[in-house]
Structure 1
Amino acid sequence: MSLWQRFRADTRANMAVLFAMGFAVSAMVSAVAVDAASLYHERRMIQNGVDLAALAAVSDPNAATALARDALVEAGLLPAGSSEGLAVTAGHYNPDPAIAPADRFTPGLAPFNAVAVRFGRPGALHFARGWAEPPTLGATAIASVTPQVSFSLGSRLASLDGGIANAVLNALLGTSVALTVLDYQSLLGARVDAFAFLDALAARLGVTAGSYDDLLALEADHGALAGALAGLLTGVERTAMLKLAGSAGQNGAVPLGKLFDLGAFGALTIGSGTGQGVFTAISALDLLAASAALGDGNRQVSLALTAGIPGLAGITASLAVGEPPQGGAWFAIGGMGTVVRTSQLRLRLVAEMAGSGALAGAPIRLPLYLELAEAEAMVGAATCPSGADASGSATILTRPGILRLTIGEVDAASFGDFNTTPTVGLAPLVEVKLLGITVLRVLASSLVEAAQTTPIPLGFSASDIAAGAVKTATTATMVSSLAGSLLNNLVLNVPILGLGLNLTSLTSLLKTILMPLTPTLDLTLARLLEAVGLSLGEADVTVYGVRCSHPVLVG
């Protein structure tokens, strides 16, 4: 037997040889497994760091690169001062579910509300580095933030004094308190934190637990509202509010959800929202006046006004305030699409004056009827605070209420019923009697309408918000003088003719008598509406702040 044959036939110690060979193979496999596990762990660490970098960068998209780099340095993924492998892009994220997830982020599109962070570096090999190149490990994250805008609609109180304001607010609040011009100015300038007010109101209502949304599901009378405000004020402001708190509460209750819509902040526990600062600092008088128009008590006001103008015997007015539509409060906090709305309003004004010329001695009675639909404001866009700005910026899409003003007699039974459309008939302007017999009866009608069909964008910069700027959207089709326009559109109906007058001369005579009084009528209409925070063909918006405190990962 040859040597080779004897070697092959000898089976002594073969297991040792096989074990040695298997150990070498398993060692190589184990080395690869350890490197693979290490790379997987390293990639997870990189992804976590990139996620944190995106969340940090979106807080200020204008400084996104620096913020992302600092976050990666802090996570130990980058050496200090280096940006190798890092790419940061600011853009706009649209959460519309109709858009494919991969297409929702648009790089470079303003307004910036999202940041994409990409980072890669070579992975670390421990056993395979002798025969393999280290792979590049990378991760991507997109973070978005929804700016939260706090804003309100319909403040017209800056120009109020006593008189009409006292009469209207007292009627709506169920009080009989005479506030001075100084009282109004003090209350208008007094700012209270919305959350501090709600905390004080919760204590008055005996609510000790739950969220702000739970509180907003309740009702409170005007006395409780004024009392909670008084507790947050000092000096002359507190004294003026205590006057109202002492006698208010006799005209129904206010559903608090019609005053406030806190958005995501509504889930906060009562007592934890205080400290938001200028973000929710609102006027005490604005809040109280808004509550007056939203109460569920009697919202009709009758006033007898003395104009003090020669030739004008007097003016009587009836004001009815309707509920705003569902889904919009007076003050709101929220992102794009958040809406605030004012109340609907009807106003009946009757002016009486003496005739002249051929109508000398004949009283002239001019009845005006006004319908003002609710105004609406919606957050159209917003950007987060950046740099030294304490607040961001916002664009509010505003639609003033549709206005319809007529000369005519309105049905008193349906005047305050906002579920029906009142019947407006011809108005008897002049009635001349001779020996108890009507010899001349002039019926009149006229109509002026103004509507803003497309929203008007109102831009609020950070400096506007810091200054407490109030911006006004004005209906583009608004006329300069409503009463004057009504008279220009005057249509007469004279079923009984007399005194030798024809329609042309009669129309001219009536315009000659009435036209000098139109500025007074316009002013009276405006002042009555101001007392409930509204205006003819206009809508006022105030933005209190923009915050971006809850960034989220979206990709």
Structure 2
Amino acid sequence: MRASRFVRIRRGVAAVARDRRGTTSILVAGSMTALVGAAALAVDVGSLYFAKRKAQTAVDLAAIAGAGGLPDPDKVVRDSLADNGFSFLTPRQPQAGPPVPQVSLTALTITPGRYAPDIAVPVDKRFTPASAATANALRVTMRQTTPLYFGRLITGQTEAAYEVSGTASVAKSAAFSVGTRLLKLDGGIANALLSALLGTSVSLSVMDYEALATAKIELFPLLDALGDELNLRAVSYDTLLNVSGPIGKTLTAAARVASLTNQTKAADALRRLANGTDVARLGVKLRDIIDLGPMGAKTLGEGPAVAAQVSALNLLMAEAQVANAKRQVSLDLGVSLPGLASAKVTLGIGERPVKAVWLANGPPNAAQAHTAQTRLLLDVKLLGNALVPAGVRLPVYVELAAADARLADVRCR
């Protein structure tokens, strides 16, 4: 009896051992943790990456918009974020209009500051917080959470927090030049002045000079036209400025731009000057009078929409003075007066403007220039008498119509 019972037990155990039903369920139950972890990695990590990428784009756009809205960027930043689906509400700022879909938001920080684009400074050190009144950059930091789908089964958390930050700066650029002008200059003297500088015979009327003085030439269209005159293609503005081109080409380009803006009188005067033989021969590098700063790296035809203008007459005089730096106009006048042994008056008109960038990009007080339009040297030798010994020499040096210019600040309104 005992033997048969043992046999039956043995047979039952063998039957169970041979039964393979339910094996898959056991394996699935045992690997459920790994499956949930894989799902969390695929779904939750992907969802977190997508949410962070979307938030980063929104923060970058908000920083750019806010930097343009300094010194009061708060509303601009919030409006930009709301336009991209991230609405930050405060108790004093009730939501108006249709509801905006929101995720769980925990913090928004708007920090004005100063940004220094210096390659010698580590990237994370270039931005320093500052007051909104003196700021030229803005940093927007947003911290928020996104829901977990499968990760909550492992971590016990229903949300994952992340933080994104964007920094934008405003590159303030200003176009300015310094070159003093006399109150009135007779047409004959003006022709003599230009003739001496250009080494040719110049015959323009007072009306021509007035047209040149009032004509405003857009800088980047001028450079584009000059590149076409010099047959330069696919080069940067800096490359063009480094080319020694004839003044006649620059005047022709300026005439083309003036014609496009209906400044016909100035265009006609520029064309007549450009046709002069010596003017066509004289060469000058525009880099000596124009500095585009970071904008010079752009390719011809891709100039920024910057309202940089130059007077046609100022451009002409600056080029003429650079081309003939050693031919400054000097008029020697002999003067004979009672009591004077001799008197020599030397009059210099038209010092070329000290270099000042047309487009200045930098901190306040970084760009400045000085010029003097007229210089007068009076060298007098007195006759001797009982009170004054003979041979006394009295040199007097006078600067007339002097000017200083300094870029103090750039403010956009």
Shared fold per TM-score greater than 0.5: yes
State which of 291, 296, 305 in structure 2 corresponds to 1:276.
305
- 1:195-234 to 2 correspondences below 5 Å: 195-231=220-256, 232-233=258-259, 234=263
The change in CA–CA distance for 1:158 and 1:280 in structure 2 (over 3 A counts) is: farther
| Cα offset, 1:283, TM superposition | 0.7
Matched, 1:236 2:265: yes
Give me the whole-angstrom Cα distance separating, in 2, the residues matched to 1:287 and 1:162.
18
Aligned residue number for residue 476 of structure 1: none
| Cα offset, 1:352, TM superposition | 1.4
State which of 103, 106, 114 in structure 1 corresponds to 2:128.
106
- 1:275-354 to 2 correspondences below 5 Å: 276=305, 279-296=307-324, 299-303=327-331, 316=332, 350-354=333-337
The change in CA–CA distance for 1:17 and 1:176 in structure 2 (over 3 A counts) is: closer
Aligned residue number for residue 58 of structure 2: 49
Identity of matched residues, %: 30
The CA deviation string for residues 219-248 of structure 1, in whole angstroms up to 9 with x for no partner, is: 233333323223324333233333323326
Aligned residue number for residue 107 of structure 2: 85
Structure (1/2) with the larger strand percentage: 1
The change in CA–CA distance for 1:71 and 1:236 in structure 2 (over 3 A counts) is: same
Secondary structure, aligned partner of 1:54? helix
CA RMSD of aligned residues (A): 4.3
Aligned residue number for residue 470 of structure 1: none
Aligned residue number for residue 400 of structure 1: 370
The CA deviation string for residues 36-70 of structure 1, in whole angstroms up to 9 with x for no partner, is: 34223322332233223223322322353333333
Give me the whole-angstrom Cα distance separating, in 1, the residues matched to 2:376 and 2:201.
32
The change in CA–CA distance for 1:352 and 1:81 in structure 2 (over 3 A counts) is: farther
| Cα offset, 1:294, TM superposition | 0.5
| Cα offset, 1:502, TM superposition | 4.2
The change in CA–CA distance for 1:98 and 1:301 in structure 2 (over 3 A counts) is: closer
CA contact (8 A) 1:352 1:364 kept: yes
Give me the whole-angstrom Cα distance separating, in 1, the residues matched to 2:190 and 2:407.
21
Aligned residue number for residue 22 of structure 1: 30
Read off the aligned partner of 2:311 and give its amino acid letter.
Answer: S
Unaligned runs of 5+ in 2: 88-98
Give me the whole-angstrom Cα distance separating, in 2, the residues matched to 1:377 and 1:211.
21
Give me the whole-angstrom Cα distance separating, in 1, the residues matched to 2:248 and 2:291.
21
The change in CA–CA distance for 1:16 and 1:129 in structure 2 (over 3 A counts) is: closer
Give me the whole-angstrom Cα distance separating, in 1, the residues matched to 2:199 and 2:352.
24
Aligned residue-pair number: 376
| Cα offset, 1:291, TM superposition | 0.4
Aligned residue number for residue 75 of structure 1: 84
Q: Which moved more, 1:79-88 or 1:49-58?
A: 79-88
Secondary structure, aligned partner of 1:254? strand
CA contact (8 A) 1:224 1:249 kept: no
TM-score, normalising length from structure 1?
Answer: 0.56
Matched, 1:503 2:368: no
Read off the aligned partner of 1:123 and give its amino acid letter.
Answer: T
The CA deviation string for residues 367-388 of structure 1, in whole angstroms up to 9 with x for no partner, is: 5698989746575856xxxxxx
Matched, 1:366 2:349: no
Read off the aligned partner of 1:89 and give its amino acid letter.
Answer: T
The CA deviation string for residues 273-320 of structure 1, in whole angstroms up to 9 with x for no partner, is: 3x836x1121111100100110058624353xxxxxxxxxxxx1xxxx
The CA deviation string for residues 115-156 of structure 1, in whole angstroms up to 9 with x for no partner, is: 111112221111344742313222112222322322223253
For the pair shown, the structure with the greater C-alpha radius of gyration is: 2
The change in CA–CA distance for 1:133 and 1:152 in structure 2 (over 3 A counts) is: same
Read off the aligned partner of 1:62 and give its amino acid letter.
Answer: P
Give me the whole-angstrom Cα distance separating, in 2, the residues matched to 1:73 and 1:295.
57
CA contact (8 A) 2:112 2:129 kept: yes
Matched, 1:122 2:145: yes
The change in CA–CA distance for 1:195 and 1:95 in structure 2 (over 3 A counts) is: closer
Aligned residue number for residue 93 of structure 2: none
CA contact (8 A) 1:91 1:108 kept: yes
Q: Which moved more, 1:365-374 or 1:42-51?
A: 365-374
The change in CA–CA distance for 1:128 and 1:37 in structure 2 (over 3 A counts) is: same
CA contact (8 A) 1:56 1:71 kept: yes
Give me the whole-angstrom Cα distance separating, in 2, the residues matched to 1:546 and 1:199.
28
CA contact (8 A) 1:353 1:365 kept: yes
Give me the whole-angstrom Cα distance separating, in 2, the residues matched to 1:173 and 1:506.
40
Aligned residue number for residue 256 of structure 1: 286
Read off the aligned partner of 1:172 and give its amino acid letter.
Answer: L
Give me the whole-angstrom Cα distance separating, in 1, the residues matched to 2:117 and 2:277.
46
Aligned residue number for residue 455 of structure 1: none
Give me the whole-angstrom Cα distance separating, in 2, the residues matched to 1:136 and 1:200.
55
Matched, 1:266 2:262: no
Q: Which has the higher contact order (CA 8 A, sep 6+)?
A: 1
Give me the whole-angstrom Cα distance separating, in 1, the residues matched to 2:388 and 2:352.
35
The change in CA–CA distance for 1:541 and 1:25 in structure 2 (over 3 A counts) is: closer
Give me the whole-angstrom Cα distance separating, in 2, the residues matched to 1:290 and 1:180.
20
Secondary structure, aligned partner of 1:261? coil
Matched, 1:59 2:59: no
- 1:477-496 to 2 correspondences below 5 Å: none
| Cα offset, 1:93, TM superposition | 1.3
State which of 32, 45, 48 in structure 2 corresponds to 1:36.
45
CA contact (8 A) 1:221 1:249 kept: no
Give me the whole-angstrom Cα distance separating, in 1, the residues matched to 2:115 and 2:36.
47
